[in-house]
């Protein structure tokens, strides 16, 4: 718990590995999914969080954490944590356990927004400069194509911090058919925020299901299987599982520093209108005063449709910036503010 309040803004780390994960008959094996729970617990101990709920399917495993989420694919791990967790301390043990499985780190990506309570963050998250130094010290030297940048906005309290590193030169980086969208929302509608406070001291999976239905989160992607969890006295997390894709939501509802995040994975083959509609549904659930949206490996058509989709919610695009990063490709960052609070 931060001194002034709970830090909602997450830190997000994504590691891609390569190696032989096929058997003699060419059948796809589990790769990183072979990591036993004890190994994952060691990783999370370094980060200072725990698993509270989990679900898996033929493609990946998804864990709801005491502070956000963890997703494990055969050759990719995505972990995002909020509060005063020490996310980057997961890098050394994750690389170690992956190496034991015959896998080698290929790319590392780290993103986050502006902390609400930056002075409460522990090492190595005391500053973006300190974070970059820590990452570079703990990843292999052969990930030599690196870039760190703070993507600004016209809103003083909002900017997007990005670090990427890869062992492949940009022209030889593999084509990615998927992209990631990260949405950060602050100053949630107060009546909506109250839905994420526990009732009758109910917490856990059942209370999480109540919050999912009460807030309408289950309508964002009706085809997803939702693994949800409610915290005491307030707060909510969920992972949505839909084939080989995930979505995730985390809510810190306390007045004065209310925050919600929504993240999803899309495909370059998806209809941009469908993606924009999904984001519109997610933002409508919370009706925030301020929204920032970062897209990785996304087309310009998607960026523009997202901005148009949020207009009916009374949100106006205040700034837009884009940049190129090794391994991650094009990253865009947009900010929106409500014209007025109804």
Instruction: Tell me phi and psi for residue 53, to 5 degrees.
Output: -160, 150
Mark whether 250 is an active-site residue. Answer: yes
User: Per the annotation, does 254 bind a ligand?
Assistant: yes
Give yes or no: 198 in active site. no
Nearest Cα residue to 238 out of 223, 224, 228, 252:
228
Q: Is 67 annotated as a binding residue?
A: yes
Q: Which of 68, 90, 159, 198 is catalytic?
A: 68
> Catalytic one among 53, 149, 198, 237?
237
Burial of 122 (0-12, 13-18, 19+ CB in 10 A): exposed
320 has binding-site annotation: no
Residue 14 marked as a ligand binder = no
Nearest to 44 by CA among 21, 20, 70, 18: 70
158 is catalytic: no
Q: How far apart are CA 25 and CA 226, in angstroms?
A: 34
Of 69, 57, 64, 72, residue with least CA distance to 205: 64
Catalytic residue among 82, 184, 298, 317: 82
CB atoms within 10 A of CB 93: 17
Residue 320 contacts residue 292 (beta carbons within 8 Å) = no
How many Cα atoms within 13 Å fall on the side-chain side of residue 208?
20
Q: Reply yes or no: is the peptide bond before residue 124 cis, omega within 30 of 0.
A: yes
* From 16, 158, 161, 250, the catalytic residue: 250
Q: How far apart are CA 49 and CA 13, in angstroms?
A: 15
Annotated binding site: 6, 67, 231, 254
Q: What is the set of active-site residues?
A: 68, 82, 237, 250
Annotated binding site for substrate: 6, 67, 231, 254
């Amino acid at each position: 718990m931060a001194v002034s309040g709970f830090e909602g803004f997450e830190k997000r780390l994504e590691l891609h590995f390569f190696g032989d994960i096929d058997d003699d008959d060419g059948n796809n094996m589990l790769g990183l999914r072979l990591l036993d729970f004890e190994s994952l617990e060691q990783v999370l101990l370094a980060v200072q969080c725990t698993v509270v709920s989990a679900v898996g399917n033929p493609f990946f495993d998804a864990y709801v954490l005491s502070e956000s989420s963890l997703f494990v694919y055969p050759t990719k791990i995505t972990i995002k944590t909020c509060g005063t967790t020490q996310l980057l301390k997961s890098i050394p043990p994750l690389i170690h356990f992956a190496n034991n499985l015959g896998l080698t780190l290929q790319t590392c990506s780290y993103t986050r927004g502006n902390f609400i309570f930056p002075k409460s963050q522990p090492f190595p998250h005391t500053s973006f400069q300190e974070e970059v130094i820590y990452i570079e010290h703990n990843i292999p030297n052969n990930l030599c194509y690196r870039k760190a940048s703070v993507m600004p906005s016209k809103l003083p309290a909002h900017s997007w911090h990005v670090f990427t590193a890869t062992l492949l030169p940009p022209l030889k980086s593999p084509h990615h058919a998927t992209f990631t969208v990260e949405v950060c929302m602050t100053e949630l509608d107060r009546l909506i925020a109250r839905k994420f406070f526990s009732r009758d001291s109910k917490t856990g999976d059942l209370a999480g299901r109540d919050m999912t239905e009460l807030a309408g989160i289950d309508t964002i992607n009706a085809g997803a299987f939702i693994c949800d969890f409610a915290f005491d006295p307030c707060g909510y997390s969920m992972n949505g599982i839909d084939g080989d894709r995930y979505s995730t939501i985390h809510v810190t509802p306390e007045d004065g520093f209310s925050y919600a995040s929504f993240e999803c994975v899309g495909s370059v083959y998806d209809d941009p209108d469908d993606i924009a509609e999904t984001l519109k549904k997610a933002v409508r659930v919370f009706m925030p005063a301020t929204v920032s949206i970062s897209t990785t490996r996304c087309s310009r058509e998607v960026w523009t449709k997202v901005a148009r989709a949020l207009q009916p919610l009374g949100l106006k695009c205040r700034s837009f910036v884009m940049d190129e990063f090794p391994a991650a490709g094009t990253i865009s960052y947009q900010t929106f503010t409500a014209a007025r609070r109804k």
